[in-house]
A and B are shown apart, each in its own frame.
Chain A
């Protein structure tokens, strides 16, 4: 079992719609969760982080965390073509300072 799992996609969403990205993790003691956006050939860029159960909103982005079910999701409202990228879910281990990345979900926003 992978430590952080994501659907690789590609996920195709029409412009203006809501994109929903999901991630599950195996370490039940994990405490911090991150969503990064990565454009081809570029370094990851932090979109959201969350560490409490529930929802966290920042502009068009909402992160949702459910520790009991060990999943974290990212919603992107009013999707724009510039949102087309690979989205990486990352989890900080409970016992270490490192963060582990999922395999990423490719998102494509079609005009």
Chain B
């Protein structure tokens, strides 16, 4: 089945630094990738939708200059948290959609998530 690899699985960084998270589709081409953020005991909140070769679409309230998304190929999307602060500490999860059928689950595969801690 479709596999999405997300790295790193956890990262600790100092306040003010930037962190890059990678999301790769291993056995399919992902036309669209999604980035979610999840705070403790809360649900997944969609941050942005990235389409290969075009600018990402950010959800309301998400700062595009702080959360930089690059989807330069059909198998790789990256999320860079710039000038990270402790309030950015969260669980970040990517999801990739392949060229599969419109309906059903085959279009949405999740990465294993990245636990970001900013100190």
Contacts and interface: CB of A to CB of B under 8 A. Distances in A.
16 contacts: A31-B103, A32-B104, A34-B105, A42-B113, A44-B44, A44-B110, A46-B108, A49-B105, A88-B44, A97-B49, A97-B97, A98-B46, A101-B43, A103-B42, A103-B43, A104-B43
Contacts, number: 48
Interface in B30-58: 32, 34, 36, 42-46, 49
A43 interface: yes
A43 B104 contact: no
Contacts of B116: none
B44 A51 contact: no
Contact of A34 (B93, B108, B112, B115): B108
A102 B108 contact: no
Interface residues of B, number: 23
A100 interface: yes
Contact of B103 (A32, A98, A102, A103): A32
Interface residues of A, number: 21
Contacts of A44: 44, 93, 110
A43 B43 CA distance: 11
Interface of A: 31-32, 34, 41-46, 49, 51, 88, 96-104
Interface of B: 32, 34, 36, 42-46, 49, 91, 93, 95, 97, 103-105, 107-108, 110-113, 115
A101 B93 CA distance: 13
Contacts of A104: 43
Contact of A101 (B44, B97, B103, B112): B44
Most buried by B among A34, A51, A97: A97
Give the top 10 A-B pairs by smallest Cβ distance, nearest first. A49-B105, A103-B43, A43-B113, A101-B44, A43-B110, A101-B43, A104-B43, A43-B112, A51-B103, A46-B105
Contacts of B112: 42-43
Nearest to A6: B43
Contacts of B110: 43-45
A45 B1 CA distance: 13
Nearest to B112: A43
